[in-house]
Structure 1
Amino acid sequence: MSKIDLAIEGVPGRQPAAAAVQQNTRLWLCLLLLLADMAALAAGFALGMQTASIPVWSTGLWQPLCGGIVVYGFVAFHSQAYNPRCLTHGTASCRSVAMAFAGTLLIFLLVLFSLKATGNLSRLGIAAGLVCSGTLLIAQRVLITRTVRRNFGNDLFAQLLIIDEGFIPENVNGMVILDAPTIGLKADLDDPYMLHRLGMVLRDFDRVVISCPAERKADWAQMLKGANILGEIVVPELAPMAPLAVQNCRGVTTLVVARGPLNLANRAKKRLLDIALTVPVLIALMPLMIAIAVAIKLDSPGPVFFRQERIGRGNRLFHILKFRSMKVEQCDAAGAASTRRDDDRITRVGRFIRRTSIDELPQLINVLLGEMSLVGPRPHALGSTAEQQLFWQVDRQYWHRHALKPGITGLAQVRGFRGATETRRDILNRVEADLEYLHGWSLMRDIAILIGTANVLIHRNAY
């Protein structure tokens, strides 16, 4: 049994049926929002054409209007109009749909003016259609949110309450309760396997609330910040937590200490970029990768690939893939010893592929599997140290960087922070750059980092 298996042994999984039902319910309700929006737009413009005495089934009008409805769908998705939060929060739902409607209208008018087609359309029909459509959009959103709140209440999202020698709130209906000591779960920031254990517990939940003694609150807060989940701690004190917000859980004051850094639309865009670039690059580089694999086998006995445990998104462990660049008997599985110049552990082929970063190419497979992204914080070996201290002992914010998927390259690498970590400043530079990337993510920044990576493929610190 591997260390990862041991880390989750005895951890009770959430009822798969309950998790599936909640996820499917949210999916169907979000689909209902989409269909209701489309119906409101179509009905609104039909009423507008009736007002202007225009035949409802006039093909000359419905073709551009159908195009406008499709554009609205894309704009609304980007505006978070189909975020599950819109199912229960009327204000957020109406605000997002209003922004999407305004954006679509702007695009629609720009296209009409560009094509000089404004003279072919009834201004009265368009104006009436816009008013009716906007009114119907807001009305159906208010109706749906009230209906969802009345019928589902707090049962639409999977909620977990972890009790670590703390008190249990009186109202815990719909929440799954776990006793941390019973399942061997504790706030241990020096144990990557414990963070993996917590990540496996949280993976099926949308919200987690921790109840624990005051002396453990700060450690639980640090563990949750990289867990990619809405995390809260039952706590009256505010200062040590650096909270994002104050909320209420069943009548008990809680602090929001963590949120996933990217919303659904941004995660989808980032994943699409990964797939769109990784697949053709893998195909194009396949001859080179085969040649490197053959050279490794001829140069020294042992496997072609080197697999090592690294920390991924949500502090969950995964196995990173690299081309093997060291002699098998001297491979450092834990990564405790940083590579040095003229390191006698490195093979002849290994020295070349490390210097040119070719040894990182198999991580494209990790990207396809969804374990990594092309751009993100670099995942480090569990035993990596700086001045005889583990990375997370140098700076506790180290764990925060795992709220995003790890990347093949990142902002730290583009800035030249790579290679051996001989001093504390070496890892602090990486952490600062990774947190800057995490808090300021954009798709264009990912593209800029990918372009900038070409300048650091061959680097003086790559050996």
Structure 2
Amino acid sequence: MQALDPRAVYTSSAVLASSDDEPQSKNHEITEMAREVASEFASTTYAPMVVRGFVQMTDIALISIAGIASLHFASEMLFPNLLYPMGYSLLGGLLFALFMLSAEGYNMSGMHSFSPQIGKIVGAWTLVVVLGILVNFFTGTSFEAYRGWLGAWFAGGIGAIVVVRALQTVVIRRWKEEGRLERRAVIVGGGQPAADIISTLESQEANDIRICGIFDDRDDERSPALVSGYPKLGNVDDLVEFARLCKIDMLIVTIPVTAENRVLQMLHKLWILPLDIHLSAHMNKMQFRRRTYSYVGKLPTVPIFAKPIANWGSMFKRVFDVLVAACAIIVLSPILIATAIAVKLDSPGPIIFRQKRVGFNNEQVMVYKFRSLYTNQSDQKAAKSVTKNDSRVTKVGRFIRRTSIDELPQLFNVLVGTLSLVGPRPHVPHQETDNKLFEEVADGYMARHKVKPGITGWAQINGWRGEIDDDNKLKQRVEHDIYYIENWSLALDFYILAATPFKIINQDGAY
């Protein structure tokens, strides 16, 4: 189904506009119109970069497999050397992808239509085979020995590519119609600057930017309720809640850099979101060096914040999580079974303790642990931290908490995708220390939710785990979590995971 146009929602929800004048609640409840728009953009999108990459890898694999498989159809020929057909089969896949790339055969704007791709496929594939013939000639290899193989490879390769590309085109066309290949943007700041940006984005060909709405703190004539047909959905505080209800990719800020204080105040609120944030250079006419700019379509911007783990990084991290978690469950199954039996025999109650925690993008997730407290003294809201010699902890619970065995059931959280192996540890919603909310104690605390929480993390292997009985312990955790988010890599994940058993077991502060 075609993605919603926010301008249509404005028309259908105009009767609700009066609610914008009502004072915002403590939790920044957004308007019904904003919720309606958010619900229409709740579906997941696919990064065009990743889709292109999958198509390229498929082409390379098909060409290489077709070349090797063609050896069977030419088996009656006596090959002087199998190294050439085997090696060139693998090289041919890479060459085909390179020729297609040169011919702009992987542009998303053309991949939703099949007929324009046929000429590029045939041309690129013919160049690969001709190049193979030239290699034969210049190396003095007898072409007769490989003629049957090259012919079978040419026919099989082009047939495989055409059939698979036709199927890919159908899928890509469907995703495009459903709005899954678009980049969703919200404009921060209204009035004429926002209208200019909308005009620039919508005037370009093959535009993949979907404008979801406008948010602005101003309520005077400089910021009307409707800009170029797009509704103003609320203020910057409302935008934080809106971004958690839907899947958007970027914020484009129209506020001029001359309004320094306003820009800084706004960015302080928005940097906690897992989004790309761009400051528009279109309306500021900033004279930066050209390479300073980033471009959203043809719109020049200055990137302020980038989504921490995106595109291929997000995919690689997910694959890493699933593979390692699955292997860990198999290897540690004797410990899991033994612990489950020990917990059941030690005290009455369930084996698994379930607790709501705050996850990615501030969404609540259910986290599993082996129960370590007496059932009638369980603390779902973590109102009181577990302390040394805490009477609420069972005998088995004291051991599994100190050794972190109680965390092992979270491997199943990793498999279902609510947790990652490595990331900031998830906390209970509205958790407090010294009668103050965590976010009131540590500046930047909410930015921990820009990535998926983890079973272990940079803070944990650096000694910041267990009881939080003073502000500094929380601040140190947040500081280490932010460092991890800003410096993420698979290598860092691997290091943290490898260091965890040595750093956490019997570490002070875990009771």
State the TM-score, normalized to the length of structure 2. Answer: 0.58
In the other structure, the counterpart of 1:225 is: 271
In the other structure, the counterpart of 1:176 is: 211
CA shift, 1:335, in A, is 2.1
Would the alpha carbon gap of residues 290 and 158 (structure 1) be closer, same or farther in structure 2, given more than 3 Å must change? same
CA contact (8 A) 1:360 1:408 kept: yes
Q: Secondary structure at the match of 1:256?
A: strand
CA contact (8 A) 1:225 1:259 kept: no
Q: Secondary structure at the match of 1:380?
A: coil
Q: Secondary structure at the match of 1:319?
A: strand
Inter-partner Cα distance in structure 2 for 1:8 and 1:275: 39
CA contact (8 A) 1:354 1:462 kept: yes
In the other structure, the counterpart of 1:457 is: 505
Q: Which amino acid aligns with 1:322?
A: K
Inter-partner Cα distance in structure 1 for 2:95 and 2:434: 55
CA shift, 1:184, in A, is 8.7
Aligned 1:341-420 pairs, distance under 5 A:
341-420=388-467
Inter-partner Cα distance in structure 2 for 1:232 and 1:219: 15
Would the alpha carbon gap of residues 184 and 156 (structure 1) be closer, same or farther in structure 2, given more than 3 Å must change? closer
CA shift, 1:199, in A, is 2.0
CA contact (8 A) 1:412 1:434 kept: yes
User: 1:159 and 2:206 equivalent?
Assistant: no
CA shift, 1:453, in A, is 1.1
Q: Which amino acid aligns with 2:505?
A: L
Would the alpha carbon gap of residues 251 and 219 (structure 1) be closer, same or farther in structure 2, given more than 3 Å must change? farther
Would the alpha carbon gap of residues 58 and 269 (structure 1) be closer, same or farther in structure 2, given more than 3 Å must change? same
Q: Which amino acid aligns with 2:249?
A: D
CA shift, 1:426, in A, is 0.9
Q: Which amino acid aligns with 1:462?
A: A
Inter-partner Cα distance in structure 2 for 1:26 and 1:450: 29
User: 1:339 and 2:386 equivalent?
Assistant: yes
Inter-partner Cα distance in structure 1 for 2:372 and 2:31: 31
In the other structure, the counterpart of 2:119 is: none
Would the alpha carbon gap of residues 65 and 461 (structure 1) be closer, same or farther in structure 2, given more than 3 Å must change? same
Would the alpha carbon gap of residues 32 and 290 (structure 1) be closer, same or farther in structure 2, given more than 3 Å must change? closer
Q: Secondary structure at the match of 1:453?
A: helix
- Runs of 5+ consecutive residues of structure 2 not aligned to the other structure: 1-26, 66-79, 110-134, 141-175, 203-208, 217-230, 285-291
After superposition, the CA RMSD in angstroms is 4.8
CA contact (8 A) 1:171 1:250 kept: no
In the other structure, the counterpart of 2:312 is: 265
CA shift, 1:461, in A, is 1.1
Inter-partner Cα distance in structure 2 for 1:286 and 1:345: 27
In the other structure, the counterpart of 2:245 is: 200
Would the alpha carbon gap of residues 380 and 197 (structure 1) be closer, same or farther in structure 2, given more than 3 Å must change? farther
Inter-partner Cα distance in structure 1 for 2:382 and 2:373: 12
In the other structure, the counterpart of 2:143 is: none
Q: Secondary structure at the match of 1:454?
A: helix
Of 351, 367, 370 in structure 2, the residue corresponding to residue 320 of structure 1 is: 367
CA contact (8 A) 1:338 1:384 kept: no
Give CA-to-partner distance per residue, 1:161-215, whole Å, 9 cap, x none.
Answer: 25677774245345333466999976559xxxx96663232x2x33233568977
Q: Percent same amino acid at aligned positions? A: 29
Aligned 1:303-314 pairs, distance under 5 A:
303-314=350-361
CA contact (8 A) 2:343 2:371 kept: yes
Would the alpha carbon gap of residues 24 and 270 (structure 1) be closer, same or farther in structure 2, given more than 3 Å must change? closer
CA contact (8 A) 2:439 2:446 kept: yes
In the other structure, the counterpart of 2:91 is: 68
In the other structure, the counterpart of 2:167 is: none
Give CA-to-partner distance per residue, 1:51-88, whole Å, 9 cap, x none.
Answer: xxxxxx996423112233567899x9xxxx9xx9x948
In the other structure, the counterpart of 2:72 is: none
Q: Which amino acid aligns with 1:335?
A: A
Would the alpha carbon gap of residues 253 and 218 (structure 1) be closer, same or farther in structure 2, given more than 3 Å must change? farther
Give CA-to-partner distance per residue, 1:9-50, whole Å, 9 cap, x none.
Answer: 945445479x67x749776655555577899999xxxxxxxx
Q: Which amino acid aligns with 1:206?
A: D
Q: Which amino acid aligns with 2:184?
A: Q
CA contact (8 A) 2:31 2:234 kept: no
Inter-partner Cα distance in structure 2 for 1:195 and 1:320: 24
In the other structure, the counterpart of 1:113 is: none
Aligned 1:75-94 pairs, distance under 5 A:
87=107
Give CA-to-partner distance per residue, 1:416-447, whole Å, 9 cap, x none.
Answer: 11111222221222222222222333333322
Would the alpha carbon gap of residues 394 and 362 (structure 1) be closer, same or farther in structure 2, given more than 3 Å must change? same
Inter-partner Cα distance in structure 1 for 2:96 and 2:311: 15
Q: Which amino acid aligns with 2:88?
A: L
Would the alpha carbon gap of residues 381 and 8 (structure 1) be closer, same or farther in structure 2, given more than 3 Å must change? farther
In the other structure, the counterpart of 1:209 is: 252
Would the alpha carbon gap of residues 451 and 319 (structure 1) be closer, same or farther in structure 2, given more than 3 Å must change? same
Would the alpha carbon gap of residues 69 and 426 (structure 1) be closer, same or farther in structure 2, given more than 3 Å must change? farther
Would the alpha carbon gap of residues 460 and 281 (structure 1) be closer, same or farther in structure 2, given more than 3 Å must change? same
Moved more, 294-303 or 352-361: 294-303
Give CA-to-partner distance per residue, 1:345-380, whole Å, 9 cap, x none.
Answer: 222332222112111011101111112221222222
Inter-partner Cα distance in structure 1 for 2:93 and 2:63: 13
CA contact (8 A) 1:375 1:446 kept: yes
Would the alpha carbon gap of residues 155 and 374 (structure 1) be closer, same or farther in structure 2, given more than 3 Å must change? closer
